[in-house]
Amino acid sequence: MARAPSRIDTARPHIPDQVTSLDDVRHYSHVHRISGLADGVFSIAMTLLVLELVVPGHGSDAELLAKLDDLYPKFLVYAMSFVILGAYWVGHAIQFHYVIRADRPLMVRTVMFLMLVSLVPFSTAFLGDNPTSRVTIGFYALNLALCGMLMHGMLLYATKDPLMLNDVFDKRIFRGVRIAYVLGPALYVVAFLVALVSPLAGFVICIAVPLLTFFPNPFWGKIYSRFTRRGLPDDPADKP
Amino acid sequence: MARAPSRIDTARPHIPDQVTSLDDVRHYSHVHRISGLADGVFSIAMTLLVLELVVPGHGSDAELLAKLDDLYPKFLVYAMSFVILGAYWVGHAIQFHYVIRADRPLMVRTVMFLMLVSLVPFSTAFLGDNPTSRVTIGFYALNLALCGMLMHGMLLYATKDPLMLNDVFDKRIFRGVRIAYVLGPALYVVAFLVALVSPLAGFVICIAVPLLTFFPNPFWGKIYSRFTRRGLPDDPADKP
Amino acid sequence: MARAPSRIDTARPHIPDQVTSLDDVRHYSHVHRISGLADGVFSIAMTLLVLELVVPGHGSDAELLAKLDDLYPKFLVYAMSFVILGAYWVGHAIQFHYVIRADRPLMVRTVMFLMLVSLVPFSTAFLGDNPTSRVTIGFYALNLALCGMLMHGMLLYATKDPLMLNDVFDKRIFRGVRIAYVLGPALYVVAFLVALVSPLAGFVICIAVPLLTFFPNPFWGKIYSRFTRRGLPDDPADKP
Amino acid sequence: MARAPSRIDTARPHIPDQVTSLDDVRHYSHVHRISGLADGVFSIAMTLLVLELVVPGHGSDAELLAKLDDLYPKFLVYAMSFVILGAYWVGHAIQFHYVIRADRPLMVRTVMFLMLVSLVPFSTAFLGDNPTSRVTIGFYALNLALCGMLMHGMLLYATKDPLMLNDVFDKRIFRGVRIAYVLGPALYVVAFLVALVSPLAGFVICIAVPLLTFFPNPFWGKIYSRFTRRGLPDDPADKP
């Protein structure tokens, strides 16, 4: 069964023939270096906050429970950071399933993206300490919005060059992933604007966004399943 | 020699033909990103406790020996963490030898699993400081039981989709690995119940479980060798 | 279309025939271990300075803004380290796109290179604290110049043995990369000499070098694009 | 040209035919998980000591030079750790160039090896603080001797199972690598015995061993080049 032609497909009518030519891949690195650096930075950023969990030391059962209780906010911030960074890691892993070659500018974008990623534990702890401050909500929203925008930037950059793309990547996936990338930063802007009126409501939105997009749920699942699961629905827009 | 049909085999009568179709693997990432993140988190969690080993500084031979002696409990906790995390790392590496493709929900499960894994050094140090407290035994047992349950959850999720599985994975391996995954958390529940009566006995069980499953020994070897070494015994249950 | 013969090409007239022989690759490791170690060291060195960003704790909006303002120099050093290390990481990734096999001496050079790389956060913070001191500019310039020289040394070592090289690597790429490697350390020597007269001017050069080579810009892009982008210009020097 | 038969070759007369059978590799993981964990642990252990290099802060040029001078011993310990760990990393990378599949017991050995590897920064700093103490020399020598013995143990274990080995691995390489593994621990035992008489002489041997085996030099090069460089000398012992 022939695949429906799409804007991306028509932009690379010469694939996969030319990909096999060594000359074409001369200036592309395989993305495994990007994966290696990203997995390293993500794993360090994720586990960094464990260092804040100071082991309570000796004590009676009641004292130890009280000390665990004191650590409760730090446990929460730890779990939140893990989930948020996990959401971006999953997004990154999926994007680089479709992007299989990299040039220098894409690596530069990766480094800038990872710089913002490793700030997430700081932003999260900052927000966790001051859940109703416009400063912390603004900082947190800005950090995560920039992460999303740089992910979007990497996707737009890579999809301009068909030689960088996995042959299975097509227009519908592209559209679906872009919607997710545009939606994220937009929701953080909303969170910040809401926080100007009601800091608590802004905080709730900030927390809800990564939770909704990370854990499988009917709302997000419906949007997401359209483009990342088997059994893609027939999309009229793809018809010639 | 044809392989005996098993429940898993019959669930994927179309393999390996369809696996070679790009369309089928469109929405699966290769698991090397999961491996990359897991290896990063495991290696950080393993080496994190070295930071607690403060170098004793200058002194006479007798003073240095005394200082090393003071560090003894920390050395023990360090070694215990390494062994426990090592046991889970080995389990993870073996599971993802059989699971060769990943979708989004499997990546989400991976992140949640790693969140619990990087808590292990905390739980271990907490237990090491208070070996006879029901609080620490409960916390430790809960942490490791959840790790085991999430490993089990990942296996059950992945084995539902034949396209995620290495073709060499079969029913006997599945059954064997599951027994290990069910046994671990069960033993931690036992440890906690025993600790309510005798904290010391509970502590001993907590320590014994990872040691018994990590280091080769006749007891565990007998159970384990049935499904992970060459020369699989002919299993009557596999016969048609 | 036959590739123009170059000095490197003529030095390996027997490739790719012999590469397929197992005997020839007997004593070469694949470079993925070098990539793995380098990605690990780079990601740790990059994120290490986040630990210096102490979360400000509770406070009013005005207090939090003031505290963020206090952290401003640390944010700057953090970003600078990330960019500088990112520039070297990109260089390393590109070099090891062309170097595909490694022997023991190349691994030793890699370790020495990484030792200097993981000193970069220290040098950068040292310079950030004392932007007009000849000591810090000298230390920083020496550190980065040595990094560049070791990168150069690895390239020269690897290109002597055709069996270590990706077949797509040719004379023009070699010349282009070398220019970059010679230019970097040279500029740091200039920065140090300028600093003896005007410390501020030396500081500006120190900061400008990684920024100019990392972010795409017309000046550097013109030099760089000659050898790392598709559509290599016909180089008269390559003509026989 | 047929390869000379060796003890290892004759132990696997059925290779490579059976390797291509999926059934044979059913219970072997690819070693890339071992590489991933090892590269992670090595890179963390290597860069951990940078955290001890406290940035000196503000000051005049003379003050900064004095502060750098105070940091001198820490720089030395940092460089020493890097070189020692680098030597073991190179050894590990080379061993796992020849060992291409792993079973559970080999992974367990890897974890135990890495536990000792991540203690090396502690042992080195301990020795650096007390260069003439029998306690520190004993601790350091014991740590590195155990690392070497576990490397040896992994090699002996892996070479017993031909299915784990790269086909290019032969008897001469095996003998050469073993000599290095036996020599290392033996020299550390000598260092410790010498230290009982002359602590300073013991310290010098401790420092010299990794330096001699890491950096290319005529003494070690002569021994090493016999088995790891191209142009293997014809070895009469290999003749049938």
* pLDDT value at C145 more than 70: yes
Q: Give the type of residue at A216.
A: P
Q: Looking at the partner chain, which of B58, B90, B230 has a beta carbon nearest the beta carbon of D130?
A: B58
pLDDT tier at C28, thresholds 50, 70, 90: confident
Query: Which chain D residue has its CA at the smallest distance from B36's CA?
Result: D36
> Once rounded to an integer, what is the mean pLDDT over residues D13-29?
51
Q: Check residue B220 and give its pLDDT.
A: 66
Averaged pLDDT of chain D? 80
Instruction: Answer for the pair D163, D199: CB distance below 8 angstroms, yes or no.
Output: no
Chain B contacts to D (CB-CB under 8 A): 32, 35-36, 39-40, 42-44, 46-47, 50-51, 53, 55-61, 64-65, 68, 78-79, 82-83, 86, 89-90, 93-94, 96-97, 167-168, 173, 214-216, 224, 228-230
| pLDDT score at C38 | 96
Residue bearing the bigger pLDDT, D21 or B214: B214
Find where tokens 């017991």 sit: D105
Per-residue confidence (pLDDT) for residue B227, from 0 to 100: 54
pLDDT band at C123 (very low <50, low <70, confident <90, very high): very high
pTM: 0.87
Cα B46 from chain centre: 14
Burial of C134 (0-12, 13-18, 19+ CB in 10 A): middle
Q: Taking 60 as the threshold, does the pLDDT of residue D3 lie above it?
A: no
Q: How confident is the model at residue B30 (pLDDT cuts 50, 70, 90)?
A: confident
* Cβ A94 vs Cβ A155: under 8 Å: no
- Count CB neighbours of A60 within 10 A: 11
Residue B110's pLDDT is 94
- Would you state the pLDDT for residue B3? 38
Nearest Cα residue to B109 out of B147, B164, B165, B160: B147
Average pLDDT over residues A120-141: 91
DSSP element (H, E) containing A134: helix A134-159
**For D31, which DSSP code?**
T
Position A17 pLDDT exceeds 50: no
Q: What angle do CA C114, C120, C125 make, to 5 degrees?
A: 160
Q: Could you give the C-alpha distances from B156 to A216, B10, C227, D29, in angstroms and in order?
A: 17, 16, 50, 20
Average pLDDT value over all residues in chain B: 80
Confidence of residue D52 (pLDDT cuts 50, 70, 90): confident
Token pair for D122? 């502690």
pLDDT > 70 in chain C, percent:
80
- Provide CB contacts within 8 A for D85, sequence distance 6+: D42, D45, D46, D117, D120, D121
pLDDT(C113) > 80: yes
* Structure confidence at residue A233 (pLDDT): 41
The share of chain B scoring above pLDDT 70, in percent, equals 80
Shortest distance, CA A13 to any CA of chain B (angstroms) = 18
pLDDT surpasses 70 at B186? yes
Radius of gyration of chain C (CA): 21
pLDDT score of C234: 41
Are A95 and A180 spatial neighbours (Cβ–Cβ below 8 Å)? no
Q: Tell which wins on pLDDT, D188 or C21.
A: D188
Q: Which residues are within 8 A (CB) of B160 and not within 5 positions of it... i.e. 6 or more apart?
A: none
- The answer to whether the Cβ–Cβ distance between C50 and A119 falls below 8 Å is yes
**Substitution target from B50, B55, B85 for chain D, most D beta carbons within 10 A:** B55
CB distance A101 to A22 below 8 Å: no
**pLDDT for the residue D12:** 39
Supply the DSSP symbol for B24.
T
Q: How far is A45 from A51, CA to CA, in rounded Å?
A: 11
pLDDT at D15: 40
Do residue C61 and residue A135 have CB atoms under 8 angstroms apart? yes
Task: Say what the pLDDT of residue D142 is.
Answer: 93
Q: Work out whether the CA dihedral B155, B159, B161, B166 comes out positive or negative.
A: positive
pLDDT in tens, A207-230: 888 888 788 777 666 665 555 544
Which chain C residues contact residue B40 at CB under 8 A? 40, 43
User: What is the interface pTM, i.e. ipTM, of the complex?
Assistant: 0.84
pLDDT of residue D6: 39
State the pLDDT confidence band at D220, using cuts at 50, 70 and 90.
low
Please state, in angstroms and rounded to a whole number, the distance separating the CA atoms of residues C228 and B50. Answer: 43
A105-109, A220-224, C161-165: range with lowest mean pLDDT: A220-224
Burial annotation B63-82 (CB, 10 A radius, 16+ → b, else e): ebbebeeebeebeebbbbbb
What does the pLDDT look like over D85-98, one tens digit per residue?
Answer: 999 999 999 899 88
pLDDT at residue C216 above 80?
no
Q: What is the mean pLDDT of residues D63-74?
A: 90
* Cα–Cα distance measured from residue D187 to residue D182, given in angstroms and rounded to the nearest whole number: 9
Q: If you average pLDDT over residues B203-228, what whole number do you get?
A: 74
**Is D2's pLDDT higher than 60?**
no
- For residue A48, what is the nearest residue in chain B, using CA coordinates? B44
State the amino acid at position C162 in one-letter form: P
Span A137-148, average pLDDT: 92
DSSP for residue A167: T
Output B67-75 pairs: Cβ under 8 A, ≥24 positions apart: B68/D135, B68/D139, B73/B128, B73/B129, B74/B49
Q: Which residues of B touch A40 (CB under 8 A)?
A: 36, 40
Provide the pLDDT confidence category of residue A131 given band limits of 50, 70 and 90.
Answer: confident
Interface of D with B (CB under 8 A): 22-30, 32-34, 36-37, 39-41, 44-45, 48, 51, 103-105, 107-108, 111-112, 114-115, 118-119, 121-122, 125-126, 129-130, 133-136, 139
Structure tokens at B193: 């119940």
CA dihedral over C50, C52, C58, C64, signed as positive or negative: negative
Burial (0-12, 13-18, 19+ Cβ within 10 Å), D56: buried
- What is the pLDDT at residue C166? 81
Residue B99 bridge partners (DSSP): B165
CA–CA separation, D240 vs D62, rounded Å?
70
| Section D201-205 average pLDDT | 90
User: For residue C32, which of D222, B206, D30 has the smallest C-alpha distance?
Assistant: D30
Residue of C nearest to B40 (CA): C40
Residue D153 reports pLDDT greater than 90 = yes
Assign A104 a pLDDT band (cuts: 50, 70, 90): confident
Q: Token pair for residue A20?
A: 């096999």
Tens of pLDDT, residues C75-95: 988 898 899 999 999 999 989
Report CB contact under 8 Å: D230, C26.
Answer: yes
Asked if pLDDT for residue D231 goes beyond 50, the answer is no
Q: By a Cβ cutoff of 8 Å, what residues of chain A touch chain C?
A: 22-30, 32-34, 36-37, 39-41, 43-45, 48, 51, 103-105, 107-108, 111-112, 114-115, 118-119, 121-122, 125-126, 129-130, 133-136, 139
In this prediction, what percent of chain A has a pLDDT beyond 90? 36
Q: What is the DSSP string of B103-170?
A: -HHHHHHHHHHHHHHTTHHHHHHHHHH-TT-HHHHHHHHHHHHHHHHHHHHHHHHHHT-GGGB-TT--
CB B39 within 8 A of CB D111: no
User: Residues C14, C19, C22, C26: is their CA dihedral positive or negative?
Assistant: positive
Structure tokens given for C124: 């950068």
Q: Both tokens of residue C148? A: 């560049």
pLDDT at C239 over 60: no
Residues of A in contact with C58 (CB under 8 A): 129-130
Q: What are phi and psi of B60, to 5 degrees?
A: -75, 170
With a pLDDT cut of 70, the percent of chain D lying above it is 80
| Residue C212, pLDDT score | 81
- Residues of B whose CB is below 8 A from A89: 37, 107, 111
Q: What is the Cα–Cα distance from A60 to B193, expressed in whole angstroms? A: 19
b/e burial code for range A161-172 (CB count within 10 A of at least 16 → b): bbbbbbbbbbbb
The CA-CA-CA angle for residues A211, A212, A214, to 5°, reads 65
* Rounded mean pLDDT, A103-125: 93
Q: State phi, psi for C102 to the nearest 5 degrees.
A: -135, 145
Residue C30 pLDDT grade (very low, low, confident, very high; cuts 50, 70, 90) = confident
| pLDDT over threshold 50, residue A22 | no
The SS3 of residue C231 is coil
Q: Is the dihedral of CA D213, D216, D217, D218 positive or negative?
A: positive
* Residue of D207 and C26 predicted with greater confidence: D207
**Which residues, including other chains, have CB under 8 Å from residue B186's CB and lie 6 or more apart?**
none
Collect all residues with Cβ–Cβ distance below 8 Å to C115 and sequence separation of at least 6: D46, D78, D79, D82, D83, D86
CB contact under 8 A, C44 and D43: yes
DSSP per residue, B55-90: ---S--HHHHHHHHHHHHHHHHHHHHHHHHHHHHHH
Residue A176 has pLDDT above 70, yes or no: yes
- The pLDDT of residue D148 is 92
Residue at token pair 């006479």: B60
Is the model's pLDDT at D8 over the cut of 50? no
Return the higher-pLDDT residue of A64 and A218: A64
CA distance C96 to C155: 9
